[in-house]
Amino acid sequence: MQQNKSNPKRRKRRSPYLFMLLCALLIICIIIFGLRAMNGWEAYEKEAAVTPVPTPTVRPVQVTPDVSLVTNTPAPTVTPSYLANGSEGEMVVQLQQRLQQLGYYTGALDGQYGSGTQSAVRIFQQQHGLDADGVAGQQTMIVLYSADAQYIVITPTPQPYAVAAEEVPILVNAQNKLPDDYVPADLVQVKAVCGDNMLYASNDVQGVWEAVVALDEMITAAKADGIGPWKVREGYRTLKYQQQIFDNYVNRFMENNGMSRSQAVSATKQTVADPGCSEHHTGLAFDLNANNPDVAFVDTAQYVWLNKHCWEYGFIMRYTDEKQDITSILGEEWHVRYVGKEHSIRMRDSNMCLEEYVAWLNAQ
């Protein structure tokens, strides 16, 4: 009985302790969860202040390479994203080969991305509606190696000229000699651009790309007017070649006219520029004729057309009888020089030769 009585008593005594213990535990739990929740909120607030709420965007699917497949295979070669003037190596060789296959490149497969490769790329780009910057970038490469890549079309659509209005045209004469190592950028074979549009004294006649494209446009217009044929006799000349021409003239004057060397040199200087002083060294000058050895060029319809219209295509009649005192070169009606339309039109309208015009521009 005592036990029976004592049991409920003990229960009654225990229950307040148990209740207090449970309450304490509950309070501890509330405090812990409360603190956690507050920390989490603070952290969220902190984060939200720093990180902008992302807006949903369409993201490209990121492909993670399968490591098991890469194991034991050599690491892929890191390829440059583009090839440009100055690039070199095996990839340039491959590019040159491909351009050669398609008829755009005629130079050596030397892996050097120089002016020849650049011109070839540019003509390719031009003929495939790409941005003609002469840089073999991703877009150019895709087209070049695709089934859409076409064999060179001999007459490309002319591109707008890049000669800026502010740029002073190069002046080359006896007082303004080019450096001995001067090689113009973007040299291209005239035939590669003008094709059947013209006749050539040699397949190797070259010029600066921009000038050759302008030449092609000009000859196309002349022929549309019923004026032709046209032959390009001279374009870019190296210093060495100019020296040969000069020496040949001197020798001829000495042998045929009985002149002393100094006499022959002065006579030569009347018609042939000193090496380094020739406009042909710029790659911007061309000697044209009508492919008719029986008639002087000045008496041909080609000359009449050229004298009237060359200005509209960025060319000037560089040496005229009228300006001989200033240019110090006898009239050469066959010699045209590319300066760009902005300049050629202004020179025509002001009747200034290049010496006068450059002096005038520099005085502005």
CB 159 within 8 A of CB 131: no
- 3-class DSSP state of 206: strand
Q: Which is nearer to Zn ion, 231 or 335 (CB)?
A: 335
Least distance in Å: CB of 150 to Zn ion?
A: 35
> How remote is the C-alpha of 301 from its chain's centroid?
36
Least distance in Å: CB of 356 to Zn ion?
A: 20
Write out the DSSP string of 234-300.
E----HHHHHHHHHHHHHHHHHHH---HHHHHHHHHTTSPPTT--GGGGT-EEEEE-S-TTS-GGGS
Spatial distance between the Cα atoms of 272 and 267, rounded to a whole number of angstroms: 9
Q: Which is nearer to Zn ion, 126 or 289 (CB)?
A: 289
Question: The dihedral of CA 337, 342, 345, 347: what is its sign?
Answer: negative
Least distance in Å: CB of 327 to Zn ion?
A: 12
Least distance in Å: CB of 263 to Zn ion?
A: 24
**Active-site residues: which are they?**
332
Q: Which is nearer to Zn ion, 186 or 333 (CB)?
A: 333
Q: Which is nearer to Zn ion, 120 or 273 (CB)?
A: 273
Residues in the chain: 364
Q: Which is nearer to Zn ion, 7 or 271 (CB)?
A: 271
Spatial distance between the Cα atoms of 189 and 358, rounded to a whole number of angstroms: 28
Residue whose CB is nearest to Zn ion in the complex, by number: 335
Least distance in Å: CB of 250 to Zn ion?
A: 18
β-pairing, 199-200 vs 187-189, is: unpaired
Which ranges in 86-208 belong to alpha helices (H)?
A: 90-101, 115-127, 138-144, 190-194
CB 124 within 8 A of CB 140: yes
- Which residues form the interface with Zn ion (CB under 5 A)? 287, 335
Spatial distance between the Cα atoms of 209 and 189, rounded to a whole number of angstroms: 8
